[in-house]
Structure 1
């Protein structure tokens, strides 16, 4: 190909050796542009052919010299760095160990509710009253029967005392032969009869008194009292509604209000059973409420419930709050952190031994 180019260039060279060159003819005038165009086409084809032959080698060199592409950052999420050994976190809720829905032991109509949500009640305080008109009349009737039985006992007692005096006189007369054997037998029989009537009257009096006491207890049940001191968190019934100790359908309610003992508040969390060995009974804990994320509450482990949840593969842990505060409310969400190198605190080792639920936990 190079020789062909050389021949073409030589053919296009002007011969200056002749003194008077002849003027080109019309045929030679058109031959020169055609030859030039042919040379350009041949040169272009040669360049294209040379580029195609050398392009694979250049691509290989670029591939060898270029650094490997960096992996995409979002291809796979980076693994979260594990927490320091000995530190364990869990979440749960604030619960109250003493929580009760106050209900009536009898069926009746509510005439008055004496509590509201947020009110503090004392143990035995009346929270509601039921309609007690019939119960009051039953109590009055029972007391009247008891009084009648008591009067019958007094009458029989008087007759018995008189019979005893008559029997004593007849026995004295009989010894002196002034009374017959029949009079003595008759007096003794009357004393025996009155003695039996006295026992019967006393039994009836006792029965009447028990009936009166029972009726008084039923009347007292029309006043619904708080079983322990606490705070009312829910009021269910309203005056005019029917209430019953059991659900009978319709519009009958089964409770008046719900009372929570705030002194019995604690935390319950579920710990993965794979890490339960790092929880120590009596160990220190830090609790943080979701409602107050900047407030760290000191706490300690009360006990580890000796049973596991098969579905969630967790074990329930009870935690005591060392700081009581009115901001801590039942059913609040909380996150706890079991501190590293946790050891039972002073005064809790003996309680841990006394609690059988704690002996089932392996401590570090």
Structure 2
């Protein structure tokens, strides 16, 4: 029995007890976790904030009183394709695109040596006819004197009746010759005028004061008034009177009640976005474009600008009333949600090179949907929308797409 109990006894002689504590390893792991948390917090705190932005824009006082907007194009109401009345080869061209010309000014000329020769020949024929008239008038004076003597002699019965009749016939013949020579002079002078007109037709003149828009022919080209030949040209140049420029704008049928003759307008040209010109509704084309369901209105320029050119695209704002003098300049405006209040002052956050700048502003009245402000800002600056209170100057940000 005692032997069995000894067999159940645990032998601890082969076991070794470690004297090292487990706490140092745990402290190392805790320290590593703490450092990781700190690094994550630091990196997270320096991450740029993602913000939405809006732009500083020009706000025009005409926007709140605009009743209708329309688009159109600038067109000259007085324009012409200048062609030659005669047929011939272009010998001289004195203008180019953009040339300013006066009414009656010669801008081109056809070869005209043959026509000049015809003029000289017609003038010579007229001179011959005038000389022949002088000869006939001298003959008339002689026959008239002879007839008067014959008349006296026949009364005294000193000549025969046949001699008297012969003198009378010569006198009548001389008068007829003078009349014929005078008619010949008229015909010769008319022929001179015909050839002079033909010579004048070789000179191409400007029909009115204007500017050359396009050049359609060059020296050496054959010109024809009806452009019947395969290689012939019709118009030499096209030109327009810049004093008759108007904007032709299409207005929807549904909006006709908002537009009337004489209504004040403001014209903005796509090519000159910084310019706003005053205009006035001049006329309405009395027909409807079925395909677009629109009516064309012509808007006259009350103000002019030398840079306005035909076929420029334009936007027209039809206004409730004429703008006052102090309403002609734009104001600086922003989205009201870009302004925040800090310590009883207004400020905006400008984004520049990925950093925030705090700009103090003075707030004026609303103009349409924009808040009019003043401050150290320029048109086009990017401002943070709905700026959070924690956003400070110098903070790095990224702009949301």
- With the length of structure 1 as denominator, give the TM-score of the two structures: 0.69
Task: Tell me if 1:125 matches 2:105.
Answer: yes
Structure having the higher strand fraction is: 2
What does residue 69 of structure 2 align with?
89
Matched residue count: 261
Structure having the higher helix fraction is: 1
Q: Secondary structure at the match of 1:294?
A: strand
- The structure with the larger Rg is 1
Q: 2:166 aligns with which of 177, 186, 202?
A: 186
Shift of 1:198: 1.7
Shift of 1:179: 2.3
Q: 1:258 aligns with which of 234, 238, 247?
A: 238
Q: Secondary structure at the match of 2:298?
A: strand
What does residue 154 of structure 1 align with?
134
Q: 1:222 aligns with which of 177, 180, 202?
A: 202
Greater relative contact order (CA < 8 Å, ≥ 6 in sequence): 2
What does residue 24 of structure 1 align with?
none
Task: Tell me if 1:166 matches 2:131.
Answer: no
* CA deviations over 1:298-327 (Å, ceiling 9, x no partner): 000111122111221111111110112111
What does residue 84 of structure 2 align with?
104
What does residue 317 of structure 1 align with?
297
Q: Secondary structure at the match of 2:159?
A: coil
Shift of 1:294: 2.6
Q: Secondary structure at the match of 1:334?
A: strand
Contact 1:86/1:278 (<8 A) preserved: no
* CA deviations over 1:129-169 (Å, ceiling 9, x no partner): 11111101111111111111111111111111111111111
What does residue 177 of structure 1 align with?
157
Task: Tell me if 1:288 matches 2:301.
Answer: no
What does residue 202 of structure 1 align with?
182
Contact 1:107/1:243 (<8 A) preserved: yes
Distance in structure 2 (CA, Å) of the matches to 1:259 and 1:291 = 21
- With the length of structure 2 as denominator, give the TM-score of the two structures: 0.63
Distance in structure 2 (CA, Å) of the matches to 1:86 and 1:133 = 63
**Which structure 2 segments of 5+ residues have no match?**
1-62, 324-401
C-alpha root-mean-square deviation of aligned residues, in Å? 1.8
* Cα distance change of structure 1 residues 341 and 225 upon mapping to structure 2, 3 Å threshold: closer
